[in-house]
Chain A
Amino acid sequence: MVNDQFGMVGLLTFIRAAETDPNLVALAPGIDLTTLGLNLNSPENLYSTFQSPWADSPCRPQDIDFHVHSEYLTNIFIREKLAPIKLNRYGEDLLFFLFYMNNGDVLQLAAAVELYNRDWRYHKEDRVWITRAPGMDPSIKTNSYEKGTYYFWDAPSWRKVAKEFLLEYDKLEDRPHLPHTLHHNPNQ
């Protein structure tokens, strides 16, 4: 057999080396390209929401600069005249909008905190917001779970949906907290 790097033994040596050397992995078996945050089955083109070569998710809609008349842009002087952002003054609909549209941003966390304050709870497994249906006490209640009718926020249809559900307390997220060292933003 070929006894240098250009035969089967050479390939085998490289494969075995890659099993131990993490630096080689990128090249030897290569990378699972479906894990790079691009929806390769998307019917739409990808480039128009491509965020960055280092980002593992596409742009959020609000990140994409679109050419609009300059009057539409919030000028730094108008900014001072606009009401400050106070989530406790907004309806649930807007809170859910801010939560779902600002992944990876402090706004998502702030919306989660405000929803928690209004007795919504985030189900970590089903990844939905849930709250008690008013006047509907749980039919079963133990110290680890309860069963009853609850309201879910159904994001796809963007409305509250009532559902029978067995609710395990440990699957609910505790009170979320805003990061202490908020990246202070002079414009906010």
Chain B
Amino acid sequence: FDDPPGLHEKTEFLLREWVNMYHSPAAGRDSTKAFSMFVGQMHQQGILKTDDLITRFFRLSTEMCVDLCYRALNEQTHSPTLIRAKCFHTLDAFVRLISLLVKHSGDSTNSVTKINLLNKVLGIVAGVLLQDHEVRNTEFQQLPYHRIFIMLFIELNAPEQVLDGINFQILTAFCNTFHILRPRKAPGFAYAWLELISHRVFIGRMLAITPQQRGWGMYAQLLIDLIKFLSPFLRNADLTKAAQLLYKGTLRVLLVLLHDFPEFLCDYHYLFCDVIPPNCIQMRNLILSAFPRNMRLPDPFTPNLKVDMLSDITHPPRIVTNFTNMIQPASFKKDLDSYLKSRAPVTFLSDLRSNLQVSNEPGTRYSIPLINALVLYVGTQAITYIHSKGQTPSMSTIAHSSHMDIFQNLAVDLDTEGRYLFLNAIANQLRYPNSHTHYFSCTLLYLFAEANTEAIQEQITRVLLERLIVNRPHPWGLLITFIELIKNPSFNFWNHEFVHCAPEIHKLFESVARSCT
């Protein structure tokens, strides 16, 4: 609003001027000669006089670049390659101008002005995108914005001295922008958005080059944004072609992370399990299958594998998320701690189910993050308690404790949906050899053995089986738990009616049993 009279014309003149200078042979190395002349023109036109004018100049320029792209995209006669060449001819010049202004704003040591200008410009481009997305609706096109973001990111991550000191702030600026433009805010930009966050330079910077893994938390947040967008469609299991493509693209990116950065998936699996719908089994298995690269997993099918003798089995996995905070309200957490400590108040157990139910979450009556956090919290407290007695988790040492009271109460008292989610929360801890995998594997088998109804045993079997029948990968902890369940006669597994409820199911068990023996 209220653009000063003549600013639009001035901006158009300057932008056209810059594009010509950028492409001229006299532009010089990295357009530096053209830039120093052009800054003079910007001064002359008074564009750099105030912060407000600079902001308006960038908004108008962005809108002009975008309009040019829409005109080119609407030229039916041109081939996609020609359209792109026309759009990129202007967009790449505009990106170069932005990156030069960012690099040369303030003196070379003043990183604050540089980062402030970058945040401003990224915010302006994001603002133009969101408005365009809202106005044009299904006519929205991602092309100009995708090009601006990726080429600006690549330019500002070039190995240049002026950038070395501000790499992390540059990364943070882009992550903030991509979070603002997350698929739930701009669904028409979702494909370009996933291209951007999975680009080799972006992944390299976020997960490999930035020291002390400082980019990991931000990257996890972006993946959570993506999974939250896909979640309603995955939960309904009814994926349109468009959603299937985005889902498949997500699996490709997760596979790259599983192969190159398994520790990243190990650290953040807790957060991902909170947002992945329970029926999205393969994606969850993929994340749970990650294990540290320096670890060698024993073959789960090794006959008479002594899990409790493995060196890694006593080490707790790294936890980088504060899952305890998820246990709300504070009064519930207080009663929980009190019960764990002294099995009082006794009402804690009978109130448990209502505390876990929510009404505002579409598609489920329970708070999955709360159930996941509760299970993890009680389990980690139990492991600490068992170790404090100089013992290690086993079918006997985990029994008869306030921790197991809670788990057995949940197994008995919850309805089938609640119990399914509770058992999933336990199965989500069955990963690579570590103390959590060990404890929760024993817990699941203990709940099976001590179950007072066959429904509990059936649901434990269902939770394990559905994770085994999907395509690979399968987490190591899941395999060793299931193998123990079907091989150890004390569980009397094969005599249950649900094992023979249908030919496919019986065949599945037999094929898994065969691969176990």
The answer to whether A and B interact is yes
Interface of chain A, main secondary structure: loop
A83 within 8 A of B: no
CB distance B81 to A30 under 8 Å? Answer: no
B434 within 8 A of A: no
A7-B462, A54-B245 known; A23+B238 contact, CB < 8 A: yes
Which residues of A are found within 8 Å of B256, using beta-carbon distances?
38, 46-47, 50
CB distance B471 to A186 under 8 Å? Answer: no
A7-B455, A50-B203, A75-B25 known; A183+B462 contact, CB < 8 A: no
B143 within 8 A of A: no
A80 to B256, CA, bound (A): 40
CB distance A27 to B280 under 8 Å? Answer: yes
CB distance A2 to B416 under 8 Å? Answer: yes
CB contact between A183 and one of B81, B280, B473 (< 8 Å): that residue = B81
CB distance A36 to B251 under 8 Å? Answer: yes
CB distance A46 to B259 under 8 Å? Answer: yes
Using a Cβ–Cβ cut-off of 8 Å, how many residues does chain B contribute to the interface with A? 69
A185 to B81, CA, bound (A): 6
Minimum CB distance partner of A24 in chain B = B237
CB contact between A29 and one of B239, B252, B259, B471 (< 8 Å): that residue = B471
Which residues of B are found within 8 Å of A48, using beta-carbon distances?
200, 204
CB distance B470 to A47 under 8 Å? Answer: no
Q: CB-defined interface of B43-71 with A at 8 Å, one 1/0 digit per residue?
A: 00000000000000000000000000000
A31 within 8 A of B: yes
Which residues of A are found within 8 Å of B239, using beta-carbon distances?
23, 26-27
Minimum CB distance partner of B195 in chain A = A52
Which residues of B are found within 8 Å of A29, using beta-carbon distances?
469-471
Beyond the given A36-B255, A71-B29, A181-B79, please list 17 additional residue pairs across the A-B interface where CB-CB is below 8 A: A2-B459, A6-B417, A7-B416, A7-B455, A7-B462, A11-B462, A11-B505, A24-B237, A26-B248, A27-B237, A27-B279, A29-B470, A31-B248, A40-B255, A48-B204, A50-B198, A185-B81
Interface residues, chain B, with chain A CB atoms under 8 Å away: 23, 25, 29-30, 79-82, 85, 154, 158-159, 191, 194-195, 198-200, 203-204, 207-208, 234, 237-240, 244-245, 247-253, 255-256, 259-260, 279-282, 285-286, 416-417, 419-420, 454-455, 458-459, 461-462, 465-466, 469-473, 497-498, 501-502, 504-505
A sample of 24 cross-chain residue pairs with beta-carbon separation below 8 angstroms, ordered by A number, consists of A2-B455, A2-B459, A7-B498, A8-B462, A9-B501, A11-B465, A12-B502, A14-B279, A15-B504, A23-B237, A26-B247, A29-B469, A29-B471, A31-B251, A32-B471, A33-B251, A36-B255, A38-B259, A47-B200, A53-B195, A64-B200, A183-B81, A183-B82, A185-B81
Interface residues, chain A, with chain B CB atoms under 8 Å away: 1-2, 4, 6-12, 14-16, 23-24, 26-33, 36-38, 40, 42, 45-50, 52-54, 59, 64-65, 67, 69-71, 75-77, 181, 183-187
